[in-house]
Amino acid sequence: MALATELQTPVMRGLAKAPTGIQGLDEITGGGLPRGRPTLVCGSAGCGKTLLAMEFLVRGATEFDEPGVFMCFEETTQELTQNLRSLGFDLDELVEQKKLAMDFVRVERNEIEETGEYDLEGLFVRLNYAIDAIGAKRVVLDTVEALFGGLSNVAVLRGELRRLFRWLKDKGVTAVITGERGDGTLTRHGLEEYVSDCVILLDHRVTDQMSTRRLRIIKYRGTTHETNEYPFLIDEDGISVLPVTSLGLLHKASTERISSGIPRLDAMLGGEGFYRGSTVLMSGTAGSGKSSIAAHFAAAACKREERCLYFAFEESPGQILRNMRSIGIDLEPWVEKGLLHFHASRAAIHGLEMHLSTIHKLVREFRPRVVIMDPVGSLTAVGTRQDASVMLTRLIDFLKMQGITALLTSLTSGEEALEQTDVNVSTLIDTWLLLRDLELDGERNRVMYVLKSRGMAHSNQLREFLLTDQGVELQNVYLGAEGVLTGSARQTREAIEKADSLLRHQEIEAKQRERVLKREALAARITALQKEFEAEEEVAKRDIEQENSREETHRQDRDRMGISRQGDKVLKDAEPAARSHETPRSRK
């Protein structure tokens, strides 16, 4: 998935720019520093001027095939090489490849004696040689105050400063000049910012014992640029600037749905779960089950082979794994598989901007599809509610731009209204699950409901849920005279309904057995009647046969008698059949 921030980088036309390769800086400068022109990077001690300048050269040499010259006036090349090696920059290798030239110019204030006109001719010769030796396209001078530190003649100093910046322009190199901040001015001499085409101010601010580095573009001739302050992070990978205010409501709205990991909760959310890329807030009092539901969501993402980044501000990863295992959610296999990554730290360890920078950096590195923050209310420990709200607004916009589904948990104080959060982000989120405890009949039970879920017909039911050995289980809804039944009241109601159901089942079985017996009795009676009928029929047949036999015998006797009297023999031969049907009475 391509990062939206990459897509958002504006393409500036007109003024040629040299990309710095520094994460976020090219985005807010619209493509980089002015090519072939000097840029002043100023700030107080320890704000990161030298590192930014050196990274500009290293990225230029390694990523854009633009060799560079670093001329330093305070640190030796050996010291710089050692210092920057800790940040992953191998300067010796670049020097050996002739992609980088480093030159230390020793300037001692107590050795400078103003005996005549001071000029930078010697510096230009030295710098020109270094540039031509490697075909440098980029130059860094660190720091300009050291070069002019021994001069008290302001007119000469101003003249040489202008000459220095002009010389760099005429040479056609993209230059970065670092400068120390003065008292009430951007630089000590108050001139460099006027002769520079671009001025970047670095600030290392400490508020409530929390330090945050910030960057602001003061000036950029010939182009539009962002003017806000941006926090930036210095870590083992160098500098990364957080272009937070360049975000907006331009993210796409996905129609894909993803499971919460709890089937009955998915059913409450229109039957399919959350929208991908949406922001889900789950608020509730302490112990209401927020982290358990979040663990379900993390496990469901990993089962889909999606990466999940879990920010924990109150528990260590080991503690989360142990606790979730106790309710049947084993997250450790997903951690070992590399699909689930925990980043656990106390919120008070950094300022809000530094947290935001860290989250941005981890998201870019890990590229998750799901992000969980548990709980976001901890961020109020390092700032006001308003500050935390602004920070989370930036974070939510950033995650939405990446198409990342975010689940935020929020601790609700029992003294506050349930339908609000301590970080005031409820209006920014898409789905809000509210967890609460119901106290009834001397016990406390967990319930949840969907307070809102944009874009779907969601349930309006209040559902009790249990933390079981198989995780979170939503229970059926039981209504009593006093409302929704939970806990023991629900179990009692379930037992009564179960007993009623068993009784009805037994009654049905008894009726079925009775009907079978009746059917069998009726069949037996039918069989008996059938046998009785057959017996009577047999008797009737026998009587008829006996009667026929007697009739035949009588006829034969009569025929024999007729024959013996020699009468009516013809009649006997002509009509034997007719006579056979005559009754003895009719024949008489």
Q: Strand, coil or helix: what is 579?
A: helix
Long-range contacts of 157-161 (CB under 8 A, 24+ apart): 157/189, 157/191, 158/189, 158/191, 160/118, 160/119, 160/120, 161/189, 161/191, 161/192, 161/195
How far is residue 281's CA from residue 395's CA, in Å, rounded to a whole number?
13
The second-level CATH assignment, the architecture, of 257-472 is 3-Layer(aba) Sandwich (3.40)
Task: Tell me whether strands 210-220 and 33-34 are parallel, antiparallel or unpaired.
Answer: unpaired
Q: Calculate ∠ Cα 264-267-268, nearest 5°.
A: 95
Nearest to 477 by CA among 464, 459, 466, 487: 464
pLDDT of residue 385: 75
Six-digit token pair at 392? 């989370």
How far is residue 375's CA from residue 323's CA, in Å, rounded to a whole number?
16
Nearest to 232 by CA among 344, 140, 361: 361
How far is residue 91's CA from residue 80's CA, in Å, rounded to a whole number?
9
How far is residue 391's CA from residue 352's CA, in Å, rounded to a whole number?
7
How far is residue 24's CA from residue 32's CA, in Å, rounded to a whole number?
10
Cis peptide before 412 (omega within 30 of 0): no
Is the Cβ–Cβ distance between 20 and 32 less than 8 Å? yes
Cα radius of gyration (the chain): 48
* Topology of the domain comprising 17-241: Rossmann fold (3.40.50)
Is the Cβ–Cβ distance between 277 and 405 less than 8 Å? yes
Task: Tell me whether strands 257-258 and 274-275 are parallel, antiparallel or unpaired.
Answer: antiparallel
pLDDT of residue 308: 96
Phi, psi of 556, deg, nearest 5: -65, -40
Q: Is there a shared CATH topology between the 17-241 domain and the 257-472 domain?
A: yes
Burial class of residue 296 (count of CB atoms within 10 Å of its CB; 0-12, 13-18, 19+): buried
Q: Which residue has the tokens 């016990």?
A: 443
**230 HSE (CA, 13 A, CB side):** 28
What pTM did the predictor assign?
A: 0.62
424: left (phi over 0), alpha (psi -120 to 50) or beta: left
Sign of the torsion formed by the C-alpha atoms of 91, 97, 64 and 62? negative
Q: Strand, coil or helix: what is 566?
A: coil
pLDDT in tens, the chain (588 residues): 334 444 444 444 578 999 999 878 888 888 899 999 999 999 888 888 999 999 999 999 999 999 999 998 888 888 888 888 877 788 889 999 999 999 888 776 565 555 556 667 888 888 899 999 999 999 999 888 777 766 667 777 778 888 888 899 999 999 999 988 877 777 777 777 888 899 999 988 777 666 778 899 999 988 877 778 888 878 777 888 876 554 566 778 889 999 999 999 999 998 889 999 999 999 888 888 999 999 999 999 999 999 999 999 989 999 999 999 999 999 999 999 999 999 998 888 777 777 887 888 899 889 999 999 988 888 877 777 777 787 888 888 889 888 999 999 988 876 556 666 665 677 788 999 999 887 777 778 888 999 999 999 998 888 889 999 999 999 887 766 666 677 777 777 778 888 888 999 999 999 999 999 999 999 999 999 999 999 999 999 999 999 999 999 998 888 888 888 776 554 555 455 545 554 444 444
Q: Strand, coil or helix: what is 97?
A: coil
Phi, psi of 146, deg, nearest 5: -65, -30
How far is residue 54's CA from residue 70's CA, in Å, rounded to a whole number?
7
3-state secondary structure 346-388: CHHHCCHHHHHHHHHHHHHHHCCCEEEEECHHHHHHHCCHHHH
Nearest to 400 by CA among 31, 89, 5, 41: 5
Please name the helix (run of DSSP H) or strand (run of DSSP E) that holds residue 284, with its range, or none. Answer: strand 279-284
Cis peptide before 375 (omega within 30 of 0): yes
pLDDT of residue 2: 39
For the chain, the domains span: 17-241, 257-472, 486-540
CA distances from 78 to 52, 74, 234 (A): 18, 12, 21
Spell out a b/e string for 46-73, using b for 16 or more CB atoms within 10 Å of the CB, else e: ebbbbbbbbbbbbbbbbeeebbbbbbbb
Nearest to 218 by CA among 237, 200, 235, 194: 200
Is the Cβ–Cβ distance between 20 and 41 less than 8 Å? no
β-strand partners of 405: 370
